[in-house]
């Protein structure tokens, strides 16, 4: 009787999460979630201000994003919440059309992300070059810093020493301990100083009221017309792309740290679902957060979905229970936090003189174009697309020069062998036709492609043109050495690419 009861129990234990059966894992995940929640509060508020919305909108977004993605996401222990990247994209829409259009754009962005996930867009991430990724990160850091400049203009003089003091605390406190996030310590101390000394400086409460209750679902306050759709669609599409890029980049980073694999397609769909839910609950949307994910995974050692879920849950508890205290946080403290985030986000190694000397000029150009485009347009998606296209052009130009043709004539002067080396595609094959001596070659011409590869129809058309030019002069051409894929493509297309 007992032996028959054992097998069903074993599968149940296998399905049980680690944190449910391991007290040590449970403790790690709970503490990690609490630390992340504490660190999320100032950043969620700061990103709300960047987007031009009440702090509650960013806090609601961080709560719903974290809770939903912990269930439907593809990367365990990754933190998703309101982010600077998303805030920068949707801020112009909020300024010009209001919160209702912003919420509608978040929901539409979620739908687009689900569609892109189903279509396998995650697989396209491997085509984004590293130089574009670096440019993306550096541009994001610059935009976050630029967003803080208005908060430092036309303000009481006390704001400036508070910002400097906040930066000093965030630099020095980690030398004492990393158990408590340095940004949180900085905010607590600066708030205590301003409240205790009654220093009159702008505070979070001046930006809007914090939530006193949980968010409730509802529809965005916009007319459901084609005009509304055309207004929000560009912003929604940009948000969808930026959110997926940052989320998939973060997921890849966590994969490397934890030496585990995550389902990027599920993550893409999960981000979309989380944004749809967030929009219906009145949040500003978001994506994965690199900084908070590093706190959760690298600093706190979290590895399961529980820490992500608790980060969102604890965040809302802290806001509802301690809302009046959070309202007294000086804006100078948040500016200091965002300046530090900007500084930490920027890849300083990428612009070091030693790195620039070794880096190919083309890759430096791609990185610079990505950064310049993003800073000029304030649109991360445009910068990434333009940077990727530039990288492709640079790559095509570089590879095109690698196709070489060398000729060897037999001693009896009856045969010439042309050996082609390199990759044959539209850029390199255009010059191929001009590298043969049609007028002076002997009767038999052999083109050896054993060291080459045919990639497209342009290359087949170039080989057909070469054969045609020799045929006009009564010479025969033999093509040898094709590998299987090249032979298959050549066999399908040769003779079919001209109109006569």
- Per-residue model confidence (pLDDT) at position 4: 47
CB 82 within 8 A of CB 286: yes
Kind and range of the H or E element at 388?
helix 380-400
Q: Give residues with Cβ within 8 angstroms of 12, minimum separation 6.
A: none
- Per-residue model confidence (pLDDT) at position 6: 47
The length of the chain in residues reads: 500
- Per-residue model confidence (pLDDT) at position 75: 93
**Largest distance between two CA atoms of the chain:** 101
Least confident of 9-13, 266-270, 382-386: 9-13
CA-based nearest residue to 68, from 238, 215, 209, 181: 215
pLDDT tens string 197-242: 999 999 887 876 778 888 889 999 899 999 999 999 999 998 998 8
What is the distance between the alpha carbons of residues 217 and 232, in angstroms, rounded to a whole number?
20
Give the mean pLDDT of 10-17.
Answer: 53
Model pTM greater than 0.85? no
- Per-residue model confidence (pLDDT) at position 183: 82
Helices (H), 73-123: 84-97, 99-118
CA-based nearest residue to 336, from 174, 151, 103, 176: 151
Tokens of 472: 């006009």
In this structure, what is the dihedral angle of CA atoms 94, 95, 99, 104, given to the nearest 10 degrees?
A: -30
CB 498 within 8 A of CB 464: yes
Per-residue exposure over 150-184, b if at least 16 CB sit within 10 Å of its own CB, e if not: ebeeebeebbeebbebbbebbeebeeeeeeebbbb
Q: Give the 3-state secondary structure of 44-78.
A: HHHHHHHHCCCHHHHHHHHHHHHHHHHHHCCCCCC
Q: Among 36-50, 123-137, 303-317, which range has the highest average pLDDT?
A: 303-317
- The number of helix segments (H) and strand segments (E) in the chain equals 20, 6
DSSP E strands in 173-283: the ranges are: none
CB 368 within 8 A of CB 361: no
364 phi/psi in degrees, rounded to 5: -65, -40
What is the distance between the alpha carbons of residues 74 and 254, in angstroms, rounded to a whole number?
12
């Amino acid at each position: 009787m007992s032996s028959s009861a054992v097998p069903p129990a074993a599968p149940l234990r296998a399905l049980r999460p680690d944190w449910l059966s391991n007290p040590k894992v449970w403790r790690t995940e709970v503490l990690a979630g609490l630390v992340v929640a504490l660190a999320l509060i100032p950043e969620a508020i700061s990103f709300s201000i960047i987007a031009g919305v009440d702090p509650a909108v960013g806090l609601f977004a961080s709560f719903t994003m974290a809770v939903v993605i912990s269930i439907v996401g593809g990367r365990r222990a990754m933190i998703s919440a309101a982010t600077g990247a998303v805030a920068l994209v949707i801020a112009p829409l909020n300024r010009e059309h209001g919160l209702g259009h912003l919420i509608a754009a978040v929901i539409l962005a979620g739908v687009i992300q689900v569609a892109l996930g189903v279509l396998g867009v995650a697989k396209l991430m491997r085509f984004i070059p590293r130089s574009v990724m670096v440019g993306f990160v550096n541009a994001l850091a610059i935009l976050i810093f630029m967003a803080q400049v208005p908060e430092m203009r036309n303000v009481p003089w006390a704001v400036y020493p508070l910002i400097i003091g906040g930066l000093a605390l965030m630099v020095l406190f980690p030398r004492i301990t990393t158990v408590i996030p340095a940004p949180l310590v900085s905010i607590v101390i600066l708030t205590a100083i301003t409240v205790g000394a009654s220093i009159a400086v702008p505070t979070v409460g001046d930006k809007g009221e914090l939530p006193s209750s949980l968010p409730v679902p509802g529809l965005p306050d916009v007319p459901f017309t084609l005009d509304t759709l055309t207004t929000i669609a560009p912003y929604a599409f940009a948000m969808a792309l930026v959110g997926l890029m940052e989320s998939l980049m973060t997921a890849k980073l966590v994969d490397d740290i934890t030496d585990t694999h995550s389902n990027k397609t599920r993550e893409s769909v999960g981000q979309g679902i989380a944004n749809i839910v967030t929009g219906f609950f009145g949040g500003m949307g978001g994506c994965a957060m690199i900084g908070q994910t590093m706190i959760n995974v690298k600093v706190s050692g979290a590895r399961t979905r529980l820490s992500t879920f608790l980060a969102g849950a604890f965040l809302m508890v802290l806001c509802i229970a301690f809302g009046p205290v959070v309202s007294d946080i000086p804006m100078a403290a948040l500016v200091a936090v965002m300046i530090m985030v900007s500084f930490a986000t920027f890849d300083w190694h990428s612009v070091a003189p030693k790195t620039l000397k070794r880096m190919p000029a083309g890759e430096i150009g791609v990185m610079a174009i990505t950064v310049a485009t993003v800073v000029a347009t304030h649109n991360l998606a445009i910068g990434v697309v333009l940077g990727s296209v530039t990288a492709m052009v640079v790559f095509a130009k570089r590879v095109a020069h690698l196709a070489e043709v060398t000729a060897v004539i037999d001693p009896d002067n009856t045969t010439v062998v042309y050996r082609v080396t390199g990759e044959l595609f539209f850029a390199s094959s255009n010059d191929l036709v001009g590298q043969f001596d049609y007028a002076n070659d002997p009767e038999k011409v052999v083109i050896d492609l054993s060291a080459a590869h045919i990639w497209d129809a342009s290359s087949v058309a170039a080989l057909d043109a070469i054969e045609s030019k020799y045929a006009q002069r009564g010479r025969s051409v033999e093509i040898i050495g094709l590998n299987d894929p090249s032979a298959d493509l050549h066999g399908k297309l040769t003779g079919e690419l001209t109109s006569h």
